[in-house]
Amino acid sequence: MRILLIMVLSLLGCSGSIDEPVSYFNVETPRPFGYVNGDEIPQRIVIETRSGIRLQPGSLPAKGQINRWLNLNQVTVKQTGRRYQIDLLYQVFYAPLEVKSLTLPGFTVQLSQGEKSISQDVPAWTFTLSPLRELVVRQTEQGEYMRPDVPPPLLANTQALYGLSASLTVAALIAAYLAYLYGCFPNRLRRTVFKRALRKLAGLSKADMEQALTLVHHALNSLNGQPLFSNQLGEFYRRNPEYMQISPQLAWFFNFSNRYFFSDGMIAVAQDFQQLKDLCEQCRKIERGSR
């Protein structure tokens, strides 16, 4: 009988904890010292409740000024099941002349279960605030002596200089390439016309004679600055006397080109194509100054 009575009393004693609306409550705060004017102080409140109990957000402190030296900058509520995490971020605006003890005010969190209201008190929290100036101010003959602030460190600008140099280099290369494409270096272009023609002729054969003749015509026209015809060779030699040494080959070229394009039944042979390549090679030697 006595054992049964003890078991009943034990169950009655445990039933109170089971019916508690708040199963877990904790206020997490940082260190209570070492703060100065303008510092922010975080505070976290963790509440775990029984099923069916909800937090009333309107019972939390509102953002804004709490008193003349304390602001509440942020209020965040995160719910995970029956667990509520309330994060508050205070900011202190107080400039004490000596170490001073201040208090974050407490408040009451309201919970609800249906129409029933449940209160949970959040206690006040005390911390210390330190002055920004020396506790004992040194004096000189001229009066109060204040130490100057430490000069701020200079930011490294090495990466910025490297980036600027690389950008300028790329811009200069692009500008030079565009100038080359638009013919701003005519002398340079004139010294590579037959080089480009030879490179293209290397991929052709006697079956491509029409394209090969067109390539050489284009090279001579580029060198002349305008279309060059056989009756204009005298003027061409006057402006480019170095090409006078291959005048027989140039005369052959214009004669052969006229017969190929304007005569019926003209058939090109391998010797004609080789003679055309030899002409282009001689022009290339003159172009680069080796003949």
Residue boundaries of the structural domains of the chain: 20-129, 192-288
Confidence (pTM): 0.45
Which of the listed CATH numbers 2.60.40, 3.30.70, 1.10.10, 3.30.300 matches domain 20-129?
2.60.40
Q: What is the pLDDT of residue 3?
A: 47
CA distance 207 to 171: 44
User: Which amino acid appears at position 171 of this protein?
Assistant: A
Sign of CA dihedral 31, 34, 37, 39: negative
Residue in the structure block whose two tokens are 């804004």: 64
Residue 190 pLDDT greater than 90, yes or no:
no
Burial of 199 (C-beta count, 10 Å sphere; 0-12/13-18/19+): exposed
Calculate the average pLDDT of the chain: 85
Q: What is the pLDDT of residue 152?
A: 87
Determine contact, residues 261/254, Cβ cutoff 8 Å.
Answer: no
Cα 232 from chain centre:
60
From 18-22, 35-39, 79-83, the region with the lowest mean pLDDT: 18-22
Residue 242 pLDDT greater than 70, yes or no:
yes
| DSSP code for 192 | T
Determine contact, residues 179/185, Cβ cutoff 8 Å.
Answer: yes
Q: What is the pLDDT of residue 224?
A: 87
Determine contact, residues 276/197, Cβ cutoff 8 Å.
Answer: no
Q: What is the pLDDT of residue 61?
A: 94
Residue 134 pLDDT greater than 90, yes or no:
no
CA distance 90 to 41: 5
